[in-house]
Amino acid sequence: MHNDEVLGHLLEIESEAAALVDDAQAEADRRITEAEKQNRSAYDERYREKNKMLERELLKTKESALQQYRQELETYKEKIAVIDINMDRFSAQLNSFIEGELQ
């Protein structure tokens, strides 16, 4: 019976080793899953922050372009406001142009 006892003991040790391997695999799977969740969460946070930053930059750029447009428009209005328009001469030029087109 001595051989049977040794064989039984070896089978018991193998069963315990298999249980330890199963437990270790389950723990590794759990850790991997947790790490994936943390990595995804960190990625999502970085994505949201980058998106917010880009939106702020877009708004700043848009506002800057709008201010520049308004400034250029105001400058243009100021320039044309001081121009003396000779309506008689303008009408004569326009009539000359139209008559030339009609002939």
Report which residue type is found at 2: H
Collapsing DSSP to helix, strand or coil, 83 comes out as: coil
Phi-psi region of 85 (alpha: psi -120 to 50; beta: other; left: phi over 0): beta
In angstroms, rounded to a whole number, what is the distance separating the alpha carbons of residues 66 and 88?
Answer: 38
Instruction: Give pTM, 2 decimals.
Output: 0.53
Which pLDDT value is given to residue 103? 52
How many domains does the chain contain in total?
1
Please list the ranges in the chain whose pLDDT falls under 70. 1, 101-103
Which pLDDT value is given to residue 102? 58
What DSSP element (H or E) covers 68?
A: helix 2-81
Domain ranges, residue 70 = 2-102
In angstroms, rounded to a whole number, what is the distance separating the alpha carbons of residues 25 and 46?
Answer: 31
Which pLDDT value is given to residue 97? 84
